[in-house]
Amino acid sequence: METNGVKLYEYPTRHATSSYPIAQDGLPRIEVRLELPDGLSFVTRVGFRYCMDKALRASAAAVYWRLVNEIHRQRLWMSERLKVMHQLDNTLTFSNARKRASVELMEREPVVSPHYALLEGHDRFSRLPDSTTRKFQPLHRDACDFPSPVKLFNQMGVREWFAPLSTRENPEAAKRYCVKKEAFTLPTLSLQVVERRPIGTRKVFDLSVNDVHAFVAGTVAVHNCIGNSGPLAEPVAEAVQDNDLVVAAVLSGNRNFEGRIHPQVRASFLASPPLVVAYALAGTVDIDLTKEPVGTDVNGDAVYLRDIWPTQEEVRDAVGKAVTSELFERNYAHVFEGDEHWRSLTNAQSELFEWDPNSTYIQEPPFFQGMTDQPEPVKDIHGARVLVMVDDSITTDHISPAGNFAPSSPAGKYLLEHGVERRDFNTYGARRGNHEVMMRGTFGNIRLRNKLTPDKEGYYTVHLPDGEQTTIYDASMQYQKDGVPLLVIAGKEYGSGSSRDWAAKGPQLLGVRAAIAESYERIHRSNLVGMGVLPLQFKQGENKESLGLTGRETYDIVGIEQGLKPRQEVTVKVTREDGSTFSFQTIARLDSPIDVTYYENGGILLAVLRRLMKD
């Protein structure tokens, strides 16, 4: 079916929950992770069976020919290097020469197939492959379980893509496996080896089950949440950036945050999974699927959504094949044993957890540092500066994003400084056990619009009073060094969306003592109180605009050290840049006596710990 959005390829994929087991014949196997230009990847075993890790983006022909060609190129490099070594020192044994050349090759680049690329099957200089006469030919496949293209394509279910082998008039001519429809006429992508590891050491997951289409869109993929589908195609990304386009994603999740699927995709529409596929086929959201065709068939006739929408019987059949009791029995039979990573964890014989200072995933959080038996008396807040001033509907994903982040971001720079390579950054969500990463990611959404930096989106602010534009993290560190408390000023529905605890933890660690907003999302208000951050609410009919607030003023929050009660009025005194002053009243959104208790203790963590110590 031809569509504007994508092409469909049907890969019969293996349903599995782990990589291939260790070979029973005792021979070593290697899994090779190949990375495609758009950042997606898959895992393949030199051997040659494969399973997909992120997306099915390369054609079968590209995988086969490029992989074999890479092995062959490395074999010929080794051959030429050994000949040179032999010419320079004819006393050097073949075995020692091969070992030296192998080290050189492995230092230059990842080795695809050690046995063949490193010429482990050769025993003398006279039998080396000759690059001047030996043309590209498949390897001795029977010796290493490397199937022929025909066998491989049959296994993958794509044999019909290729024309049958032609009878060669000249028997001496090189054998060709794609006569009428060459491999390069299919989508081909350059593959780069980025990781090699022993077989069976890491779990990998197939994209789909048998008889289910592997579906990949041309721009925004039908894929994982939080942008795990990888970057946009480079021309698309450049067009969005250069023209400041508002482009759309359609997702079947439960969050439609701006940038939820990809940082450059501002509009997100929620739909059922079949509609996600339908819109991707159409290649646009500017379509009425009840009246307009999704695409055209091979005869040029219009194909409508009603033509491809599955019946309930088809859905039941698909579910019946994919979801079976055997599936659950197999996957849950050893669930309490854990995988090899769990079993390999060292078990320290201690009642206390031993923090690893070198870990970039888990660090001891500072929430209990300096804690005393009794809480310090609550004091008014004086000389506060605004770290961030935002408008309505700021979500917890704006405050503490969960997705990927760039090397140039404060969190990315931190990981690079600690020896973590870009491909191993993972996501904010995966590193939520490291407060150093999460602090740097607070207000780190690249679509955040801080009114202190109206000409710039993302994690930027202005340090006051000097007016230097810098990152929110760097500004907060300087403020804390100078002993300056911080505020967040917002509009309506501050903290809406997912109930993300780091949206309260992060600001607290940045030195935010209070927030002033027109209204709060219920759970986020509670989380702020739970971290000792005072949520203040403008009185009805007032907001930052009506009061003329710019965010460059100095703020005093007074009246809280005399004792707090639920929802009491609190005075905010404002000193403008010209020295003039005025005041306005707010409501302390400590909505219950327990809220007051938590705030007076500096948050729920300290309150609970003090209670446990007392008991």
Instruction: Give per-residue pLDDT as tens, 135-149.
Output: 444 444 444 444 555
Task: For the chain, give the percent of residues with pLDDT over 90.
Answer: 43
Helix%, strand%, coil% for the chain, nearest 5: 30, 15, 55
Mean pLDDT value across residues 551-569: 95
Residues 44, 31 contacting (CB under 8 angstroms): yes
Quote the mean pLDDT of the chain: 77
User: Helix axis angle, 522-530 relative to 604-614, nearest 10°?
Assistant: 50
| Residue 219: predicted pLDDT | 32
| Residue 6: predicted pLDDT | 41
The single residue listed with the structure tokens 């971290």 is 531
The single residue listed with the structure tokens 């504007």 is 4
Identify the three-state secondary structure at position 393.
Answer: coil
pLDDT at 197 over 70: no
Mean pLDDT value across residues 38-56: 31
Sign of the dihedral through C-alpha 332, 333, 337, 340: negative
CB atoms within 10 A of CB 353: 9
| Residue 288: predicted pLDDT | 95
Buried b (16+ CB within 10 A) or exposed e, 41-68: bbbbbbbbebbbbbbbbbbbbbbbbbbb
Segment among 73-87, 328-342, 539-553 with least mean pLDDT: 328-342
pLDDT at 82 over 80: yes
Sign of the dihedral through C-alpha 522, 528, 531, 536: negative
- Which DSSP symbol is given to 245? -
- Kindly report, residue by residue over 500-534, the tens digit of the pLDDT: 999 999 999 999 999 999 999 999 999 999 999 99
Residues 130, 79 contacting (CB under 8 angstroms): yes
Q: 145: burial class by Cβ within 10 Å (0-12, 13-18, 19+)?
A: middle
- Provide the strand spans (E) within 199-313: 214-217, 248-251, 267-270, 295-296, 302-303
Mean pLDDT value across residues 93-110: 87
Mean pLDDT value across residues 324-331: 82
The C-alpha angle with vertex 32 and arms to 190 and 19, in degrees rounded to 5, equals 130
Segment among 72-81, 140-149, 367-376 with least mean pLDDT: 140-149
Question: Which residues, in sequence order, are bridge partners of residue 269?
Answer: 250
At position 559, the amino acid (one-letter code) is G
Say which residue, 412 or 57, is predicted with more confidence: 412
| Residue 443: predicted pLDDT | 97
Mean pLDDT value across residues 319-329: 83
| Residue 39: predicted pLDDT | 34
Identify the three-state secondary structure at position 36.
Answer: coil
Mean pLDDT value across residues 551-572: 95
Mean pLDDT value across residues 277-304: 90
Give the chain's length.
Answer: 615
533 phi and psi, to 5 degrees? -100, 125
61 phi and psi, to 5 degrees? -65, -45
Residues 579, 561 contacting (CB under 8 angstroms): no
Give residue 47's pLDDT band: very low, low, confident or very high (50, 70, 90).
very low
**Predicted TM-score (pTM) of this structure:** 0.62
Mean pLDDT value across residues 347-351: 79
Q: Rounded to whole angstroms, how far apart are CA atoms 571 and 574?
A: 10
In 3D, which of 484, 503, 405 has the Cα closest to residue 447? 405
Say which residue, 33 or 258, is predicted with more confidence: 258
| Residue 413: predicted pLDDT | 96
Give residue 159's pLDDT band: very low, low, confident or very high (50, 70, 90).
low
Segment among 177-181, 375-379, 501-505, 554-558 with least mean pLDDT: 177-181
- Kindly report, residue by residue over 389-446, the tens digit of the pLDDT: 999 999 999 999 988 888 999 999 999 999 998 888 888 999 999 999 999 999 999 8
Mean pLDDT value across residues 190-204: 41
CATH architecture of 381-400+442-614: Alpha-Beta Barrel (3.20)
- Kindly report, residue by residue over 463-473, the tens digit of the pLDDT: 999 999 999 99
| Residue 473: predicted pLDDT | 98
| Residue 59: predicted pLDDT | 40
| Residue 277: predicted pLDDT | 85
Give residue 372's pLDDT band: very low, low, confident or very high (50, 70, 90).
very high
Give residue 119's pLDDT band: very low, low, confident or very high (50, 70, 90).
confident
Give residue 225's pLDDT band: very low, low, confident or very high (50, 70, 90).
low
| Residue 381: predicted pLDDT | 98
Give residue 345's pLDDT band: very low, low, confident or very high (50, 70, 90).
confident
Segment among 68-72, 161-165, 434-438, 492-496 with least mean pLDDT: 161-165
CA trace torsion 44, 50, 53, 58 (10° rounding): 80
Mean pLDDT value across residues 188-215: 36
Segment among 111-125, 156-170, 428-442 with least mean pLDDT: 156-170
| Residue 319: predicted pLDDT | 84
| Residue 73: predicted pLDDT | 79
Give residue 154's pLDDT band: very low, low, confident or very high (50, 70, 90).
low
| Residue 314: predicted pLDDT | 87
- Kindly report, residue by residue over 259-277, the tens digit of the pLDDT: 777 778 888 899 888 898 8
Identify the three-state secondary structure at position 34.
Answer: strand
CB atoms within 10 A of CB 179: 12
Task: Map out the domains of the chain as residue ranges.
Answer: 2-36+186-208, 51-161, 230-309, 381-400+442-614
| Residue 586: predicted pLDDT | 98
Q: What's the token pair of residue 188?
A: 């081909």
